Chains A and B, each alone.
Chain A
Amino acid sequence: MAANTVTFRGLRDEEVYEDFEVEKAVAMESEVVKNFIEKDTGMEPLRFPIPCRNIKSGKVLEMVLDYCKFHAHARSFTIPDDDVKTWDNEFAEKALSADKNQVTFCHILLAANFLQIEDLFCLLLKAGADLLKDKSVEELRQIFKIENDFSEQEEEAIVQETKWTYA
C-alpha cells in the first residue's frame, strides 16, 4: 500500500470483504482516521486496511467515500459554497432514494457516525428531518413503513394528548 493512501475494508463477514483505497486527504475527512494519523509518530501511516465492521455493504462504504472524495477536492480547490451545497443536496437525494425503505440512507448515516464524518452526518440528519417535517401521520407511516401497533383506544388517547399539534 502506497504511503499516501488509506484503505478501508468493508467487512461482510470474516471471509468476504471489499477494499476501497483512497488518498490520505480523502480519508482524513473522517475524524477517527484523522486522529489516528495525527497521533502516529511519522511512520508510514496506516499500513493496514481499516476494518469497518459496522459498515455492512460495499455500496454504503463506496457512497461514503464518494462524499469524502468530493469534499476533500472541494476543500483544496476552493469550490464555491453554493456548488458544494448543490452537490450535497443531490447526494442526500441519492442516499434517500437508493432503495424503498431508506435502508441505504440509514446505513450511510450510521457509517458517518461510526467514522465521525461530521458534515456528512449533519447533512443526512437534516435530510431525514426534512422528510419528516409537515407530513400527516398517515403519510409518515406510509413513507417509512411504520406499522401502527396501537389499539384504537390507545391511538385515540394519544391524539387527544397531542391535539394541539394538529392545529
Chain B
Amino acid sequence: MGMPIDRLSDLPDNLLCCNILSLLPLKDAIRSSVLSTRWRHLWKHIPCLHFSRDFFESANHPDRVRSECLGYLKHTVDDILLRHSAELESFRIYFGHPLSRVNLENIAEWIDCAAVKGVKHLGLIIDFTTMEIHIPPSLFDCHSLADLELGGFTFSEIPTDFGGFLSLKTCSFSNIYNLTDDKLQQLIALCPNLQKLVLEACFQLENLRIRAPDLDSLKLRGCYSIESLTADCPRLVKLEVEDCDSLFKMQLNFCVFLQNVTASGFGSFGGVCTVKFLKTLSFMAYPEISHPPFLTLVGSFPDLEELKLTAIFFEDMTVGKMVVPRQDVAAQKLLAHTKFPNLKKTVGDGRIR
C-alpha cells in the first residue's frame, strides 16, 4: 500500500520534485536543499532550469559584482549545471544589461550540457547588446529540440553535418544578426516538423521564402527590410505581419486552410495573394494606403466573412462585422466597391447602401 504519508515531505520524489519544485522559481527550488536530508538532492531532478530576468539582475547587481566577481553569473550557472543530475526538459537563460563578456564565455558548454541532457525547450535571450555573440555550434547538437527561442545572437554558419532539428515544432528568432534569406531557408528545410515560426527584428531578411509542410502559424514583426514574402505552407492557418514597412509583395501558395491574416504597417502594398478560403482579414490601414493594390488583394478572398480595418489616427466605428475608420473617406469608398457575398455589412447609419 506504500509508505504512510504524514506530511508534504512524504510525497513520492517525482511528485515533489518533478512537479511541485519545478513550479517554483529556481531560487526557491534550490534553497529547498537545506531543509533536510530528504530534500537535499531533490532539486537536482527538476526537469527545467530557468534563469530568468530576476536571476540575471540579482547575479549582475553591482554590489554582488563588487563583492564576488564580474563572472559571478557564469560561475553560478556552471555550478548549478554541474550539480543538476537528471534529464533536462527545459533550459532558459536571460541576459540583460549591462552584460560583461565574461559571463558569456561558457555558453557553448552550457548548451552542450543541455544537449547531452536531452533538452527539448531551449531559450537563450540576450537583451540590449551591441556585442557580436555568435550562436555556438553546440546548438546544432540539441537533437531533441522541440522548441527554440533565440534573441540577440549573431548567426554564423549552419554546420555541414547538421542533420536537422527533426522534432522542432516552434521556433522564435528575435534580433538575430546576419540571418540571411538563404540561411533561414536552409535551416527551415532541415526542420520538417516546424509548426510555428516567429521572426522579429531580423534585419538581413529581404526576400523571404518559407517552405514548411507543417507550418500552421507564421509571425513577422519589425523586419523592416523584408520586401517580399512567399509562403509555400499548405497547412498555414494564421499569418501575422506587423511593422514590416518595406513589404510590398506577399504570395501565399497552396494555403487552403489560411483563415486568419493580421497585417499592419504596410507601406505601399501591391501584392497578389492566391488564397481561397480566407475568412478573416485585419488590416491596420494608415490613411495613405494606396487603394488599387489593396482592392486587388482584398478581392482575391471571395469567402471573406470579416474584414477589419483599423486606422490609428481616427476614431473607429464598429458596424456589424466590420470596423471602419469613420473619417477615412477612402476606406468608405473601398467598401462601396467591394463585393463580398459572405460579408455581413451595414454602413453608416445602419442602412445598407
User: What CA separation (Å) do A135 and B28 show in the bound complex?
Assistant: 8
CA distance A113 to B25 in the complex (A): 23
Residues of A140-163 contacting chain B, CB below 8 A = 140-141, 144-150, 155, 158-159, 161-162
> B33 contacts the other chain (Cβ, under 8 Å)?
yes
Cβ B31 vs Cβ A162 within 8 A: yes
Q: Are A128 and B20 in contact (CB under 8 A)?
A: yes
- Select which of B19, B31, B34, B72 is within 8 A of A155 by beta carbon: B34
Is the CB–CB distance between B7 and A106 below 8 Å?
A: yes
B321 at the A interface (CB under 8 A): no
Please indicate the chain A residues that have their CB under 8 angstroms from the CB of B39 in the complex: 146
Please indicate the chain A residues that have their CB under 8 angstroms from the CB of B24 in the complex.
129, 132-133
* Bound CA–CA A11/B21 (angstroms): 31
Indicate if the CB atoms of A106 and B76 lie closer than 8 Å. no
Residues of chain A within 8 A (CB-CB) of B32 are: 132, 140
Question: Quick one: which of B1-55 are within 8 Å of A by CB?
Answer: 1-2, 5-11, 15, 19-21, 23-25, 27-28, 30-40
Assess whether A89 is interfacial by the CB under 8 Å rule.
Answer: no
Cβ of B21: which chain A residues have Cβ within 8 Å of it? Answer: 129, 132
Given A107-B5, A132-B32, A144-B7; A164-B76 close (CB under 8 Å): yes
Q: Are B33 and A162 in contact (CB under 8 A)?
A: yes
Residue of B nearest to A102 (CB): B8
A38: shortest Cβ distance to chain B, in Å? 27
A104 to B23, CA, bound (A): 21
Q: How far is the CA of A135 from the CA of B32 in the complex (A)?
A: 10
Q: Within 8 Å CB of A158, what residues of B?
A: 33-34, 40
- Complex: how many Å from CA A161 to CA B33? 10
Chain A contacts of B25 at CB under 8 A?
A: 133
8 Å CB interface, A90-128 against B = 101-103, 105-107, 109-110, 113, 125-126, 128
B64 touches A (CB below 8 Å): yes
Complex CA gap A53/B8 in Å reads 20
Q: Which 3 A-B pairs have the closest CB atoms?
A: A129-B23, A101-B7, A165-B31
A residues within 8 Å of B by Cβ?
Answer: 53-54, 101-103, 105-107, 109-110, 113, 125-126, 128-129, 132-135, 137, 140-141, 144-150, 155, 158-159, 161-162, 164-167
Show 17 A/B contacts (Cβ-Cβ < 8 Å), sorted by A: A53-B1, A101-B6, A107-B5, A125-B19, A125-B23, A132-B21, A133-B24, A133-B28, A144-B9, A146-B7, A146-B38, A146-B39, A162-B30, A162-B31, A164-B27, A164-B72, A167-B58
10 additional A-B pairs beyond A106-B7, A167-B27, beta carbons within 8 Å, are A54-B2, A101-B6, A103-B6, A106-B8, A129-B23, A132-B32, A144-B7, A164-B72, A166-B31, A167-B58
